[in-house]
Structure 1
């Protein structure tokens, strides 16, 4: 009996459940985690944006210092003409020189918002200023951040239809060439690498996907 009892397995102690720190537990209950901003200093103020040096505690509890570009936000307009074809509509495209990219780029019409300006109002203004077009029907397509690692600029994309042609009146520092291009041609340009502008890639491909899904229904 002594030998038999010596070979008996010892019962294992129950495993402890991983402990969730109170702060994270509280955050998870609230459904969101937020940072704690310790200080924020404007290190550059320009016409279009400002650069801040922020000290903060991130949601996970890590102390951090970040240089962030703050911006009023921008609007992008996917202006669509379905008068000739609903399956392959024409899109208003612009070509202009971009100093930061050191090249001409094909893009959708877009522009910055004024402080406190409603995004839809800004989109309507930008489309008419840059191309002369107005639109009867407007709806949001998508919102995204182009480079959220350091750029706080949100870009709101609007889909505009029922186009009415007019006279463009761009700003003095803008030299913009615009034209109507078939959606299928823009997609081909994207596939060939001829379009490098992020807002145009995102907006056109999303719209093309939505249009294709609509056809299949």
Structure 2
């Protein structure tokens, strides 16, 4: 059996020009050599990664509603947040769940990890599921304003049709929940 060449279309970085260094993201422009020998530029957003939690309580999914400035509107999303430098994704998921919803969970299961926009960003989101939750107190960041709600699968599907839920991580969680309800496993 022959080995698949995963680098068949590799673009070799010739130079990197930092453009912006922010609190959450940075932007760089790379000059690359293409597989045909020509050069091109690539605008790349660097992100530390994030976690998201499909938290289930009494056959309902915990969601948060918050304003998203890039969209200029409120969104309904599952609890989520960025990874701190060197932070374990599982511990970050537990932290974000408690900070945003007040719920704690000792055990979580990784559903999947996915890249949000690999054409221009390296952000990866680790999606966990938690279903044995204990209610506690939320600990929002000082610049975080949100409402917590628990919704049924049918409500989640309706919110998707209305585009109140329209982000990839929450849509992925809704579909994972739907598969779980049909098959009994994630």
TM surpasses 0.5: yes
Cα distance in structure 2, aligned partners of 1:30 and 1:214? 34
1:66 to 38, 42, 66: 42
Q: Deviations over 1:100-150 (max 9, x none)?
A: 000001000000001111111111111111111111320111111222221
1:32 aligns with 2:6: yes
Unaligned runs of 5+ in 2: none
Q: Residue in 1 aligned with 2:87?
A: 117
Map of 1:17-28 to 2, 5 A cutoff? none
Q: Residue in 2 aligned with 1:51?
A: 27
1:162 aligns with 2:132: yes
1:132 aligns with 2:102: yes
- Does structure 2 retain, via aligned residues, the 8 Å contact 1:187–1:205? no
Unaligned runs of 5+ in 1: 1-27, 83-88
1:188 aligns with 2:158: yes
Q: Residue in 2 aligned with 1:205?
A: 175
Secondary structure of 1:128's counterpart equals helix
Structure 1 residues 30 and 62: CA distance shift in structure 2, 3 A? farther
Cα distance in structure 2, aligned partners of 1:51 and 1:168? 33
Cα distance in structure 1, aligned partners of 2:37 and 2:182? 44
Map of 1:2-17 to 2, 5 A cutoff? none
- Does structure 1 retain, via aligned residues, the 8 Å contact 2:74–2:164? no
Structure 1 length as normaliser, TM-score?
Answer: 0.78
For the pair shown, which has the larger CA radius of gyration, 1 or 2? 1
Cα distance in structure 1, aligned partners of 2:35 and 2:92? 33
Cα distance in structure 2, aligned partners of 1:108 and 1:194? 12
Structure 1 residues 195 and 60: CA distance shift in structure 2, 3 A? farther
Q: Which runs of 4+ in 1 moved over 6 A?
A: none
Structure 2 length as normaliser, TM-score?
Answer: 0.90
1:95 aligns with 2:65: yes
Deviation at 1:202, TM superposition (A): 1.5
Tell me how large the CA RMSD over aligned residues is. Answer: 1.9
Structure having greater relative contact order (Cα 8 Å, sep ≥ 6): 2
